[in-house]
């Protein structure tokens, strides 16, 4: 009898401690579900692979603080399984809204269905998913990555309009399977295919990082001695590639023309120095709009399914002008 009672008490104690453990988020914050009336936002970030990502994280953290929300922030270190784990943890903690920037496009339906069953609204930020079931999320806020690729292609077409010889291009792609890598590649290819003189002679992932950008550019340079243009899917890979080009005794921006995407400060500095020739902007400042969307969906309001970010492009002259005021 005594043994049975002691067993029941132990089981109860274990249940209490298990529930308490579920309440701990990735950063160690306690609680969830807005006990003190604050909106609780669970955000699962891709990682810290680039200057863009760092600026995006800062924008989200600062905007959440300004809005007076409790932010449960998780860094997936570039791994989809970590993001899925974080989303499940947000569901267990009963946050008010879940937002995330998907590492890759596919493989989200199961976990998003779990959020839907738990009646927790989800907002996609920065990157899309490729699910046919649009009911799995309330809204997607971010750039048009295909358009970014097209803008890069259009600059190239204009720059080489009088050229009659083949133009040899190498491409540094972003993370395989990520929306910006897929779309920036597709948009660029669509524009340049109109003229057969444009030849992509090598295209490989540089994982959106400076280190990989440098390493892959070294490989490109070792196996191709006639590279005219580098198209990098972000500034960081372009900046890494610049190091490789200089180490090979070539002049970036002159011997090899460079086009990148993002327009973060380091990229814009290289552009103003003529080491990069053209940058297509991709804004990381999604925080303020995300907070507004989160509040509306938490209140049961209706939001736009697609919120597009406004973006531009920069030449070296324009970079010089805007650099002193650049926020990121």
**Is residue 261 at the binding interface for ligand AHR, with CB under 6 A as the rule?**
yes
60-99 footprint of ligand AHR as x/- string (CB under 6 A): ----------------------------------------
**Is residue 180 at the binding interface for ligand AHR, with CB under 6 A as the rule?**
yes
32, 44, 53, 205: residue in contact with ligand AHR (rule CB under 6 A): 53
What is the sign of the dihedral through the CA atoms of 73, 75, 80 and 85? Answer: negative
25, 26, 49, 75: residue in contact with ligand AHR (rule CB under 6 A): 49
Write the DSSP string, 45-59.
Answer: E--S-SHHHHHHHHH
Residues between 115 and 144 that touch ligand AHR (CB under 6 A): 126-127
**Is residue 188 at the binding interface for ligand AHR, with CB under 6 A as the rule?**
no
Interacting residues of 251 by C-beta distance below 8 A, sequence separation 6+: 245
The 3-state DSSP class for residue 77 equals coil
The tokens of 220 are what? Answer: 């490109």
Q: How far is the CB of 224 from ligand AHR (least distance, A)?
A: 25
The tokens of 53 are what? Answer: 């990502």
Report yes or no: 321 and 315 within 8 Å, Cβ to Cβ.
no
Q: How far is the CB of 175 from ligand AHR (least distance, A)?
A: 7
Binding residue count for ligand AHR, defined by CB under 6 A: 13
Residues between 211 and 240 that touch ligand AHR (CB under 6 A): 234, 236
Q: How far is the CB of 182 from ligand AHR (least distance, A)?
A: 11
The 3-state DSSP class for residue 85 equals helix
Q: How far is the CB of 187 from ligand AHR (least distance, A)?
A: 13
Q: How far is the CB of 326 from ligand AHR (least distance, A)?
A: 15
Sequence-ordered alpha helix ranges (H) in the chain = 2-22, 51-67, 80-92, 109-117, 145-159, 179-192, 210-223, 235-247, 265-272, 287-298, 316-322
Contacting residues toward ligand AHR, per CB under 6 A: 49-50, 52-53, 126-127, 180, 208, 234, 236, 261-262, 282
């Amino acid at each position: 009898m005594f043994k049975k009672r002691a067993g029941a008490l132990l089981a109860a104690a274990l249940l209490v401690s298990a529930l308490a453990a579920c309440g701990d988020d990735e950063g160690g914050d306690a609680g969830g579900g807005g006990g003190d009336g604050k909106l609780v936002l669970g955000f699962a970030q891709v990682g810290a692979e680039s200057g863009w990502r760092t600026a995006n994280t800062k924008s989200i953290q600062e905007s959440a603080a300004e809005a007076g929300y409790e932010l449960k922030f998780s860094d997936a270190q570039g791994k989809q399984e970590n993001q899925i784990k974080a989303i499940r943890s947000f569901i267990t903690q009963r946050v008010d809204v879940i937002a995330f920037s998907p590492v890759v496009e596919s493989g989200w339906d199961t976990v998003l269905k779990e959020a839907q069953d738990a009646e927790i609204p989800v907002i996609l930020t920065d990157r899309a998913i490729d699910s046919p079931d649009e009911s799995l999320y309330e809204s997607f806020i971010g750039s048009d990555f295909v358009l970014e690729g097209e803008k890069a292609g259009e600059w190239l077409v204009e720059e080489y309009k009088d050229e009659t010889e083949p133009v040899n291009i190498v491409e540094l792609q972003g993370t395989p399977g990520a929306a910006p890598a897929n779309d920036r590649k597709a948009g660029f290819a669509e524009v340049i295919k109109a003229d057969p003189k444009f030849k992509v002679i090598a295209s490989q992932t540089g994982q959106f990082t400076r280190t990989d950008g440098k390493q892959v550019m070294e490989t490109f340079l070792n196996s191709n001695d006639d590279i005219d243009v580098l198209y990098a899917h972000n500034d960081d890979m372009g900046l890494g590639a610049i190091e490789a080009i200089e180490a090979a005794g070539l002049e970036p921006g002159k011997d090899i023309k460079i086009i990148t995407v993002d327009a973060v400060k380091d990229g814009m500095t290289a552009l103003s120095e003529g080491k990069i020739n053209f940058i297509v902007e991709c804004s990381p400042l999604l925080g303020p709009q995300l907070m507004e969307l989160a509040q509306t969906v938490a209140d049961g309001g209706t939001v736009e399914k697609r919120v597009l970010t406004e973006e531009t492009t920069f030449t070296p002259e324009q970079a010089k002008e805007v650099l002193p005021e650049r926020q990121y």
